[in-house]
Structure 1
């Protein structure tokens, strides 16, 4: 299996020129390896996300880019210049923190202007006021300049933090889980606003998150991280449809996994055999040899749930049902394959009549929708 930590695999930014680049950047904290020889580029105007569980190295990568951490070895470049040893305040980047780090004793306008008035030579007051007003317009907070921070809602405070970051016109804007403290509805609204703002400004956004929905909905490209390395980098669609192993498929969206060994491989796909003797066909990801341990991945929305038996269908028992509005999520149990998650669109469920917990049903899927993946 090809490692996505190779420079070529990580450095694909389409036709965009590079605005930032890691070259074998490694960061150690004593015996702990937080970032392992990261080598990849970030394109100008790109919205890139680092996605992974806690401790995977995503925040370390962001902090090396910001200048808050110096690589133990390797280099970091910004706009073609080596900045490995350049302090954070001298880099053309700004960061929006998870808890915003706003000054409660200052007004909204004073918070936004803070970075501007630290410049030398200091810009004149009229210029500062003009830039602050423009930043407030961009985040839809016109007229809120005189307010105190404690008078603002959580979503408004998040916008103030964004305005304070963009007022300095950075070449790269770094976002360290900036939506984590917001409720689900407001988080979704802010995701749309961040996308719109990024397109308007043309600034490169680099986001760190453990929320896969957040990364999938906003990013041009996502870097899936594990143990300080990038396992796979690509567009949200590419990662969802073509994960290179079980780890990526499990972390990007929901998926069902059936473990087994590869029993056949052909130019058109492959076959996996489970310990209980079941055989399933699917597309093959990467290089898999006959006899290799593998997992069959089927997305919940690709599984058909029916009351009556169909060709190739397997009998199951409905264990649980969760109504999600436009979809209903079913947990079903197969005697040999275990539990499977099935997502049924509301219209399809209405046509089928619905399924009650404890009821018998049948599941099936098309072989071309299943993917045979290497185990991690």
Structure 2
């Protein structure tokens, strides 16, 4: 298995490749921060690197930006190797987690800073025109003369975005740009970023550890761990067909049950769980009899009812989440697992309460047989 993992690292079909990582590794002394990364990024694509702290996603982004040089392999932009090309001459801009705005400058001065560094110099009138267009794009017209400390967090982020897009880069890199925002503002900015990307047609590459952020915004997601790309795919592909337990646990919420394969056919796999229960599911990769695997079942794919077919469970806890209600239930053999019940279901049948004895069931197609790693 190469570093592209489960799913190809190729850019989407009919998309012109704008950036590539070819066998790229980066070491800091004895520490390998990125290992054999292979990835093609298409023009106009919104791609995210997703993973926990220290997984290598920011290192990958910094190599695309030119702030780090690969120890091995090549970084390409528009088909040209740019390993030794300085960051400031690449057709790339970056929005940092803490924005890196100049507090002594006005909003307009911050946005136009990069334009003023270009040689030969751009006429002041042309800079003012470009800054004005960028202000309009991020909806900051009228705030051009304010200082940075006079702006809200969301406004500061828009300034950072305007400064990044004013040079019309081919590639815009975003290093956890919404980490400092509260939940409501973060949701608003996610929508604005998507709209901005569609409006400009610029290729966006986002680094985040927030799965909801990546799922809601991206065309494709690279799941990373220990400096490697584990799986690449669309949000739906990663959610519905995770390669292993790590991906299934990082993209969404899932219940996991460990066991061994007892039988496998083209469509269905029989599993004997550690607790003695027998379960049938769909294998996400080739498996063999005796192989240790885990079964993954998403909470929203489990049905609860008072009277019906299924396994007998008891409700241990209930959390109302608005659109859904989350139940923690106990099964005599399977143990504890989560169930997510839609609001409409509760409106029809009434809510379940702690201590209720219920039946739980899921379709065979909902049980995914995954590699444990």
Separation in structure 2 between the aligned mates of residue 171 and residue 93 of structure 1, nearest angstrom? 6
Separation in structure 2 between the aligned mates of residue 90 and residue 339 of structure 1, nearest angstrom? 55
- Runs of 4 or more consecutive aligned structure 1 residues displaced over 4 Å after TM superposition: none
| Structure 2, unpaired ranges of 5+ | none
Counterpart of 2:108 in structure 1 is 109
Separation in structure 2 between the aligned mates of residue 315 and residue 322 of structure 1, nearest angstrom? 20
Q: CA deviation at 1:183?
A: 0.8
Separation in structure 1 between the aligned mates of residue 20 and residue 172 of structure 2, nearest angstrom? 15
Q: Is 1:177 aligned to residue 176 of structure 2?
A: yes
Please tell me whether the aligned partners of residues 3 and 38 of structure 2 are also in contact (alpha carbons under 8 angstroms). no
Q: Secondary structure of the residue that 2:132 maps to in structure 1?
A: helix
Q: Is 1:374 aligned to residue 358 of structure 2?
A: no
Q: CA deviation at 1:349?
A: 1.4
Q: Secondary structure of the residue that 2:52 maps to in structure 1?
A: coil
Deviates more, 1:356-365 or 1:147-156: 356-365
Please tell me whether the aligned partners of residues 7 and 40 of structure 1 are also in contact (alpha carbons under 8 angstroms). no
Counterpart of 2:137 in structure 1 is 138
Q: CA deviation at 1:266?
A: 0.9
Counterpart of 1:277 in structure 2 is 276
Judging changes above 3 Å, is the alpha-carbon distance between structure 1 residues 172 and 118 closer, same or farther for their aligned structure 2 residues?
Answer: same
Q: CA deviation at 1:6?
A: 6.2
Judging changes above 3 Å, is the alpha-carbon distance between structure 1 residues 270 and 4 closer, same or farther for their aligned structure 2 residues?
Answer: farther
1:24-82 deviation per Cα after TM superposition (whole angstroms, max 9, x unaligned): 11101111111001111101110000000111100000000011111111110011111
Q: CA deviation at 1:3?
A: 4.2
TM-score w.r.t. length of structure 1: 0.97
Please tell me whether the aligned partners of residues 37 and 229 of structure 2 are also in contact (alpha carbons under 8 angstroms). yes
TM-score w.r.t. length of structure 2: 0.97
1:143-181 deviation per Cα after TM superposition (whole angstroms, max 9, x unaligned): 110111111111111111000000010110000000111
Q: Is 1:46 aligned to residue 61 of structure 2?
A: no
Separation in structure 1 between the aligned mates of residue 371 and residue 305 of structure 2, nearest angstrom? 30
Separation in structure 2 between the aligned mates of residue 319 and residue 147 of structure 1, nearest angstrom? 54
Separation in structure 1 between the aligned mates of residue 332 and residue 366 of structure 2, nearest angstrom? 22
Separation in structure 1 between the aligned mates of residue 261 and residue 327 of structure 2, nearest angstrom? 28
Picking from 336, 345, 364, the partner of 1:348 is 345
Separation in structure 2 between the aligned mates of residue 366 and residue 333 of structure 1, nearest angstrom? 19
Please tell me whether the aligned partners of residues 269 and 282 of structure 1 are also in contact (alpha carbons under 8 angstroms). yes
Separation in structure 2 between the aligned mates of residue 322 and residue 122 of structure 1, nearest angstrom? 60
Please tell me whether the aligned partners of residues 22 and 75 of structure 2 are also in contact (alpha carbons under 8 angstroms). yes
Counterpart of 1:289 in structure 2 is 288
Separation in structure 2 between the aligned mates of residue 125 and residue 259 of structure 1, nearest angstrom? 66
Q: CA deviation at 1:375?
A: 1.2
RMSD over aligned Cα atoms? 1.3
Q: CA deviation at 1:319?
A: 1.7
Give the length in aligned residue pairs: 373
Separation in structure 2 between the aligned mates of residue 4 and residue 303 of structure 1, nearest angstrom? 34
Q: CA deviation at 1:86?
A: 0.9
Q: Is 1:332 aligned to residue 321 of structure 2?
A: no
